[in-house]
């Protein structure tokens, strides 16, 4: 059993002030589109620097000492901006599984932020980034189960790109799975990727998990994936992330 470091819980007000990180950051938002209903399903909150520097500039400052505070501050920032921008769809927030030591304590700040800024918790999606190596699958299963019990939706981000792959779905089920853009790129020209994506869709259908295809850049990619039964999409074909705002859609 892996031991998880305990941290002193921090509140919404402290996170709003920067959570003692020593650097500032903000968010850009990119829409996730339902092409069947022709509506925005969700807005994903993506970390950015204060002058729109890329996420890598901020994430490069994260270490074992500040991981928990950064994770908490990300949640508060996303909820705060989601309320400020009057987002009516879901807001999707990436979280770091290795930063969550006890889900019932780590979620308090999110709940406090939702109440403070008037954002409904049933419109929040928590995305697990599969690219972060999961140290303890049993602990992650506990986190997912607790979050779902509290009324949040959950998703696995970058599915097919990280360390665990289908093993994650064998251990626990989220509400959503986001196919990594590496599987999507030029899928209209690649039978191997088509076969893999079809297999993932079949598994997710049997587990009652909705599939999101991310990284859509061309109409040809979109049409192939729609023919497989996918309804939810994200990518530059629809809109690039908008710094501290909501993008105007190129297509719907």
Residue 71 has what pLDDT?
Answer: 87
Q: Is residue 4 part of a domain?
A: no
Say if 250 falls within a structural domain.
Answer: no
Taking each helix axis from N to C end, the angle separating 108-117 and 67-84, rounded to the nearest 10 degrees, works out to: 20
The answer to whether residues 147 and 122 touch, using CB atoms and an 8 Å cutoff, is no
Number of domains in the chain: 1
Q: Which residue has the higher pLDDT, 65 or 164?
A: 65
CATH number of the domain enclosing 206: 3.20.20.450
Q: How confident is the model at residue 2 (pLDDT cuts 50, 70, 90)?
A: very low
Give me the mean pLDDT over the 71-93 stretch: 94
Which residue range is the domain that position 63 belongs to?
Answer: 12-243
pLDDT digits (tens, 9 = 90+) for 134-143: 666 777 888 8
Q: How far is it, in rounded angstroms, from Cα 103 to Cα 73?
A: 15
Residue 1, pLDDT score = 40
Q: pLDDT tens across 111-142, in order?
A: 889 999 999 999 999 998 755 556 667 778 88
**Does residue 3 lie in a domain region?**
no
- Tens of pLDDT, residue by residue over 162-193, are 555 677 788 888 999 999 999 999 999 999 99
Token look-up 């089920």 returns 173
Query: Mean pLDDT over all residues of the chain?
Result: 87
Cβ–Cβ < 8 Å for 29, 43: yes
pLDDT exceeds cutoff 70 at 99: no
249, part of any domain:
no
pLDDT of 22 reads: 86
Residue 251 lies in a domain: no
Q: How far is CA 84 from CA 13, 53, 88, in A?
A: 16, 21, 11
* pLDDT confidence band for 12 (50 / 70 / 90): low
| Averaged pLDDT for residues 86-105 | 80
7 domain residue, yes or no: no
Joined together, the tokens standing for residue 161 give: 């790109």
Residue 64's SS3 state is coil
88 vs 149: which has the higher pLDDT: 88
Q: For residue 87, is it within any domain?
A: yes
User: Does 6 fall in a domain?
Assistant: no
Read off the pLDDT of residues 15-63 as tens digits, 9 standing for 90 and up: 555 567 889 999 999 999 999 999 999 999 999 999 999 999 998 998 8
Residue 209 has pLDDT above 90, yes or no: yes
Taking only the tens place, the pLDDT of each residue in 39-52 is 999 999 999 999 99
């Amino acid at each position: 059993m892996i031991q998880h470091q305990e941290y002193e819980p921090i509140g919404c007000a402290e996170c709003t002030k920067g959570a003692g990180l020593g650097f500032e950051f903000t968010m850009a938002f990119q829409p996730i589109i339902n092409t069947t209903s022709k509506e925005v399903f969700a807005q994903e909150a993506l970390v950015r620097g204060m002058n729109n520097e890329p996420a890598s500039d901020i994430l490069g400052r994260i270490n074992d000492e500040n991981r928990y505070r950064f994770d908490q501050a990300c949640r508060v920032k996303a909820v705060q901006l989601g309320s400020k921008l009057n987002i009516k769809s879901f807001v999707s927030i990436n979280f770091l599984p290795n930063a969550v030591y006890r889900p019932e304590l780590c979620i308090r700040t999110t709940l406090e932020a939702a109440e403070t800024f008037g954002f409904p918790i049933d419109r929040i999606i928590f995305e697990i980034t599969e690219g972060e190596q999961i140290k303890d699958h049993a602990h992650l299963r506990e986190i997912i189960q607790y979050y779902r019990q509290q009324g949040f939706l959950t998703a696995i981000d970058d599915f097919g790109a990280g360390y665990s792959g289908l093993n994650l779905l064998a251990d626990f089920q989220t509400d959503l799975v986001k196919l990594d853009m590496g599987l999507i790129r030029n899928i209209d020209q690649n039978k191997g990727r088509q076969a893999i994506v079809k297999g993932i869709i079949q598994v997710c259908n049997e587990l009652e998990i909705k599939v999101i295809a991310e990284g859509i850049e061309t109409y040809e990619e979109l049409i192939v994936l729609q023919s497989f039964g996918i309804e939810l999409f994200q990518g530059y074909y629809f809109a690039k992330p908008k710094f501290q705002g909501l993008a105007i859609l190129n297509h719907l």
